Chains A and B, each alone.
Chain A
Amino acid sequence: MNTRLIQDSEVEQRVFEAIQFITFNLDPNIKPILDKAYLNEQDPLAKDVLTSIITNIGLAKTNLIPLCQDTGTLVVFAELGNRVLIEGKTLEQAINKALARATETCYLRATVLSDPLFNRVNLGTNLPAIVHTKIVEGSELHLHIAQKGGGAENMSRLKMFNPSACPQDIIDYVVETVSLAGSKACPPLIVGVGIGGNFEQCALLAKKALFVDIYANHPDPSYRDMEKDMLIAINETKIGAQGMGGNLTALAVHIMTAPCHIASLPVAVNLQCHSHRHLAITI
């Protein structure tokens, strides 16, 4: 079995470039959905809000001003091939080095505090990135890199359901989460739903679900129908873009599932604002 060497400097440079890109460039799949919603929207206030959100996408890219002032925490899903050896620093060290550099040179907002409760000091570096690493077969390093803002994250929820809960209970919980979030989570949203696993795996599934292709569906038709039902029910709340009413409260709902304990049925709902900044790279 041949080992493939990747220099830590290459990882750092590629991650840096990805952060730089997502700071100013939205997921390209979002704008066509917003454009369509704008054309179909009748409410003048909702139309006005959508116009601003759409205009912002072009301005951020042209003027090199971040899409959102909350440049967020950096979340990285890494899939490290089992034949890859990163030479020099560790993967996380390389990612953090890239983040520190991007914070300075891309003028990211210093948003991360060193301690959550007793010593909420802002060291100005945005470190550390939150990195989830999985070892997979192969000779490549896949990184999915995202800037996650605080507003939508704050309105996310997790509930340990009884296994006797029915699908409608879960749909209601997801819709309730979006309703409670209202405009605080900056809709139109992408809604990631984790079902199954245990407490922490369920939350991770919900997070991962945010970063699948926006048009992707769950492979199982039962869950696929649930995604559709959830999206319809969420948009029927008429919370609308920025809570100003209208037909577009969510852009997509994605469910991810995992096997779970006989006694458990965990459900996590992770919300993503319309400023959906993420990029997948392969080294």
Chain B
Amino acid sequence: MKEHYINLPLNANDIEQLSVGDKVYLSGEVFTARDVAHARLDALLRDNMALPFELQDICLFYCGPSPTPEGKICGAIGPTTSARMDRFTPLLIEHGLRVMIGKGDRSEEVTQSIRAHHAVYLVCIGGASALLNQSVVSRETFLWDDLGTEAIIRLVVKDLPAYVSVV
């Protein structure tokens, strides 16, 4: 099992080094987005509105953290099922998204889109939230606070463990 320590955002050269089954330790900025946040990003793109970030510069993490306990940096974090985001993913990739973290298989359409655009889909271990919590350096709600745990949350991580699933 090959291991890579990588700083985010990933560039094309970083992605080229990755093979399915490799383990990666990610450091840098990730943005959480689940179902509703994806629907809203999709609506913005379809209406030709500005997105809150440059898609090519970011990594999306399909994750809804639990609340931050007093005195801690972050609550439990972990991936949710990526397939629920599949209907929105090709358009996001077309607009520049290159790095996604989640759990489980993607649709054929998303897999092809990832490969065609030299993007990468990484998986984190589900139900290992106290372990992944240790990689979080900071957590702040970035956008759409009304969505609670489904808001877009900006996490800064150090050596977040994940595995390459589609590249």
Contacts and interface: CB of A to CB of B under 8 A. Distances in A.
Interface in A102-131: 107-111, 120, 122, 124
B105 A109 contact: no
Contacts of B72: 65
Interface string A166-189: 000000000000000011101000
Contact of B129 (A67, A182, A243): A67
A282 to B, nearest CB: 28
B130 A109 contact: no
Contacts of A70: 64, 78, 80
Contacts of B65: 69, 109
Nearest to A149: B127
B123 interface: yes
A243 B126 CA distance: 11
Given A68-B78, A107-B75, A273 B131 contact: no
Contacts of A232: none
B127 A273 contact: yes
Given A53-B125, A56-B129, A71-B66, A66 B149 contact: no
A258 B39 CA distance: 43
Contact of B81 (A68, A111, A124, A151): A151
A60 to B, nearest CB: 4
B33 to A, nearest CB: 14
A65 B76 CA distance: 6
Given A48-B23, A67-B130, A122-B150, A184 B105 contact: yes
Contacts of A120: 36
Contact of A109 (B23, B76, B163): B76
Contacts of B131: 52, 55-56, 59
B70 to A, nearest CB: 8
A110 B34 CA distance: 14
A154 B104 CA distance: 13
A45 B78 contact: no
A49 B66 CA distance: 22
Mostly, the B contact residues are: loop
Contacts of A52: 125, 128, 131, 161
Interface in B96-141: 103-105, 123, 125-131, 133-134
A275 interface: yes
Nearest to A276: B127
Nearest to A49: B125
B60 interface: no
A52 B163 CA distance: 12
Contacts of A110: 67, 148-149
Contacts of B50: none
A30 to B, nearest CB: 11
A186 B68 contact: no
Contacts of A154: 81
B23 A242 contact: no
B69 A69 contact: no
B148 A122 contact: yes
Given A107-B69, A110-B149, A184-B104, A65 B125 contact: no
B90 interface: no
Q: Which of A120, A182, A242 has the most CB of B within 10 A?
A: A242
A265 to B, nearest CB: 30
A235 to B, nearest CB: 19
Q: Which 8 A-B pairs have the closest CB atoms?
A: A275-B127, A184-B104, A60-B130, A69-B76, A59-B130, A109-B66, A65-B130, A66-B76
Interface of B: 1, 21, 23, 36, 63-69, 72, 75-78, 80-81, 83, 103-105, 123, 125-131, 133-134, 147-150, 161, 163
Given A45-B21, A48-B23, A107-B69, 19 more contacts: A45-B1, A45-B163, A49-B125, A52-B125, A52-B128, A53-B127, A53-B128, A55-B128, A56-B127, A60-B129, A69-B76, A70-B64, A107-B68, A109-B64, A109-B76, A110-B148, A111-B149, A120-B36, A151-B103
